[in-house]
Amino acid sequence: MSSTSPVELQHESQAPGAAEARLDGGIERPGPASRGTVRFCFIDALRGLAALFVLVFHLFLGFHETPVFAHIHHWVRSTIWRGCTGVYIFFVISGFVIAYSIKERRVDGRFIGRFALRRSIRLDPSYWAATLVSALMAWKLHGISPHELPPPTLKLILAHFAYLPEFLGCKFFIGVFWTLCIEIQLYVTIVLLIGGLQWLSRTPEPPVGDAN
C-alpha cells in the first residue's frame, strides 16, 4: 500500500480486462469491463459510523434522564451529545458522492430525468408512506396527544411530498424529515450548478464559413 492520500486513485497494471483503479483506504473502482458499479468502501464505512453516531444520539435524547445514563462518565455523555454531527457527515458524503457520480457526465434534460427518477424510486415510496402515516396519526390524535402534530391539511401533505415544508412555511410531521428535505435540495442544487457551469463553459459551434 502506498503512502498517497486516501483520495488519490492508483492504477495497478494487471492482465488485460482485469485492470482496476484502487483508491487507498479500501476504495476500489472496477476496470473498464464493469464501470457501472463503483463502491467506495471507506465512504460506506464512514456513512455507517455516522448513522451509528446519530442513532446513539437519539437514544440519549430519549433516555438521558434514566439511571442508566446517569452513571455514565461525563466525557462519554458529552461525546454522545455531539452525535448530531453525524448528520453533517452525511451531508458532506452526499455532496461528494453526487459530485463524483456526475463529474464526467453531460448534464442535459435526459440526464436530469434519469437522475431524478433513480432517486425518486429510492426515496419517495418510504418517505411518502411515512408522511401519510404521520398525517393519519395527526388527524386521529389531534387534541388528544400531549405531543401535538400539525393539522394534516392538503397543503402540508403536498409540501412534504415535494420536500418543501420549510420553504412553504409549514411544520414537519416528523422532525427528522428536515434532513431528507435538505438532501433533496442538495441534489437539485448540485445538479443545477454543474449543469449551469457546463452550459457556460461549452465550446460554441464554429460558424459555417463561405466557400470563397
**Orientation of helix 85-102 relative to helix 177-200, angle to 10°:** 30
Number of domains comprising the chain:
1
Give the residue with greater pLDDT, 17 vs 105: 105
The Cα–Cα gap between 47 and 160 comes to 25
Lowest-confidence segment of 33-37, 41-45, 82-86 by average pLDDT: 33-37
CB 156 within 8 A of CB 170: yes
Domain annotation covers residue 28: no
- Does residue 165 lie within any of the structural domains? yes
pLDDT score for 163: 93
Within-domain flag for 187: yes
Domain assignment present for residue 5? The answer is: no
Q: Which domain, by its residues, includes 169? A: 107-202
Q: Could you tell me if residue 132 is inside a domain?
A: yes
The answer to whether residue 211 is domain-embedded is no
**Which pLDDT score, from 0 to 100, does residue 44 have?**
86
State the pTM of this model.
0.64
3-state secondary structure of 186: helix
The residue type at 149: L
In this structure, is residue 192 part of a structural domain?
A: yes
